[in-house]
């Protein structure tokens, strides 16, 4: 009993440490974005500002990539490293911080989840190595760290707990109830310190809540077509990633040139469709209030689905969950305007199908999207997520690449 209490206390302490790191990173990123993209443009009359800044960002990212390699790693790779434990290659924590920070600040269509998960896992490896006696009773520390990171970043403890476990091969990393208890302790304490720091000093994370979900007869009649559209968009994202990787592999040694080119493409697109920049979670509410034409909303969502994997292939590496959620919302709003249906319903169905195809975790997808779309959407999110996963796994679509390939 004494050992269990001590391990629980260790877990709470680790959660506090993880929460402080995640809050500090997100707060520093937010302040830097505000300085670079809001304060400076108001003081400087620079033509084609996004192109210039994204090109500079590409240069800096390219230099880091040239020196240290392809960092940050994507989320599936980080999860594999966490499962491998001591057998995984250990990355330099300070390099990971810089590599995750630069693409976000310079406007990349990326989320912070991959970079932050990599940082937390690297910290877990360091703690495990440095304080073996302190941490010896906590197995699967890397997976617990990922759970904590995802819970805080998406403000969804259920998603954070389920996402690293739910795999298509049913390989569950934390099968024992004792490990789940420790994971919950880490998640609760990290969320708690995140809430305290955000309330006191600002900042925060997560997807905003979107009010107004409604499922009338007209909405139900287009449920299947909306799922098909979401699945098609998921295929579009995966194909874009596959083709972008093949394109940039043709100039494999030109690391800096590739990153600058990725920045120029991003900046040029942003001149016409400014919402393709950044991860998207902080732009969702403004997208609802902007009353943009349906065509602009649809084009923005599609452009973001193309720009995000292209940027990753060029060296602007990071997470893609936030951007694809934003894309689904944008396209859903646009199609709702054309069809005359509830915009939140259309966005929920399209987004859940899209995200399920890309991350291949239908249950985690439904739990994640419960946060923005609310309890009334749960049956539809589950149905859309599992239906989309089933459709995308059919043999007829086997030649379409996934996000892992």
The model's pLDDT over 231-278, given as tens digits with 9 standing for 90+, comes to 999 999 999 999 999 988 887 789 999 999 999 999 999 999 999 999
- CA–CA separation, 103 and 22 (whole Å): 17
- CA–CA separation, 93 and 162 (whole Å): 26
* Cβ within 8 Å of residue 355, ≥6 positions away: 234, 321, 324, 325, 328, 365, 368, 369, 385
Give yes or no for a contact between 303 and 109, defined as CB atoms under 8 angstroms apart: no
Chain CA centroid to CA 207, Å: 11
- CA–CA separation, 125 and 144 (whole Å): 12
- CA–CA separation, 377 and 212 (whole Å): 10
CA distances to 4, 181, 193 from 188, in Å: 17, 11, 9
- CATH class, domain 217-397, is mainly alpha
**Is 217-397 the same fold as 2-201?**
yes
Q: Tell the CATH superfamily of the 2-201 domain.
A: Clc chloride channel (1.10.3080.10)
303-351 confidence digits (pLDDT tens):
999 999 999 999 999 999 999 999 999 999 999 999 999 999 999 999 9
Q: Is the pTM of this model over 0.85?
A: yes
6-55 confidence digits (pLDDT tens):
778 888 898 999 999 999 999 999 999 999 999 998 888 888 999 999 99
**Binning pLDDT at 50, 70 and 90, where does residue 81 land?**
confident
173-202 confidence digits (pLDDT tens):
444 666 778 888 889 999 999 999 998 888
Quick one: pLDDT at residue 404? 55
DSSP letter (8 states) at residue 35: I
Which two structure tokens, joined as six digits, stand for 110? 């990326």
Residue 405 has pLDDT above 50, yes or no: no
Quick one: pLDDT at residue 403? 62
- CA–CA separation, 64 and 73 (whole Å): 14
Domain chopping of the chain, boundaries: 2-201, 217-397
Quick one: pLDDT at residue 226? 97
Can you list the alpha helix ranges (DSSP code H) found in 360-401? 362-373, 378-392
Element (H, E) at 79: helix 75-84
């Amino acid at each position: 009993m004494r050992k269990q209490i001590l391990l629980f206390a260790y877990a709470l302490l680790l959660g506090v440490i993880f929460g402080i790191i995640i809050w500090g990173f997100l707060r520093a990123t937010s302040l830097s974005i505000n300085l670079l993209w809001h304060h400076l443009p108001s003081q400087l009359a620079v033509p084609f500002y996004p192109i210039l800044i994204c090109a500079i960002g590409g240069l800096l990212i390219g230099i880091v990539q040239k020196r240290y390699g392809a960092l940050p790693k994507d989320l599936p790779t980080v999860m594999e490293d966490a499962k491998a434990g001591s057998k995984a290659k250990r990355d330099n924590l300070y390099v990971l911080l810089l590599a995750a920070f630069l693409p976000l600040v310079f406007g990349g269509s990326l989320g912070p989840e991959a970079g932050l998960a990599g940082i937390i896992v690297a910290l877990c490896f360091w703690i495990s190595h440095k304080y073996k006696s302190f941490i010896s009773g906590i197995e699967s520390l890397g997976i617990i760290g990922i759970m904590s990171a995802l819970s805080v970043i998406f403000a969804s403890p259920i998603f954070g707990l389920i996402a690293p476990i739910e795999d298509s091969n049913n390989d569950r990393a934390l099968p024992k109830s004792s490990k789940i208890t420790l994971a919950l302790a880490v998640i609760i304490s990290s969320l708690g310190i995140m809430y305290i720091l955000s309330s006191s000093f600002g900042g925060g994370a997560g997807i905003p809540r979107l009010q107004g979900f409604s499922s009338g007869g007209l909405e139900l009649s287009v449920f299947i077509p909306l799922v098909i559209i979401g699945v098609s968009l998921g295929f579009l994202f995966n194909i874009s990633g596959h083709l972008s990787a093949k394109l940039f592999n043709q100039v494999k040694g030109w690391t800096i040139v590739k990153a600058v080119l990725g920045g120029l493409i991003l900046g040029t697109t942003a001149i016409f469709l400014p919402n393709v920049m950044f991860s998207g979670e902080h732009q969702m509410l403004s997208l609802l209030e902007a009353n943009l034409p349906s065509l602009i909303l649809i084009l923005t969502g599609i452009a973001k689905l193309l720009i995000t994997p292209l940027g990753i292939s060029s060296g602007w590496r990071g997470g893609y969950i936030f951007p694809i959620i934003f894309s689904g919302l944008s396209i859903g709003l646009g199609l709702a305007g054309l069809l005359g249906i509830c915009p939140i319903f259309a966005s929920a169905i399209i987004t859940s199908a899209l995200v399920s195809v890309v991350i291949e975790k239908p249950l985690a997808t439904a739990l994640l999207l419960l946060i923005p779309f609310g309890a009334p959407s749960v049956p539809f999110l589950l149905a859309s997520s599992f239906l989309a996963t089933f459709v995308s796994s059919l043999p007829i679509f086997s030649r379409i690449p996934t996000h892992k390939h």
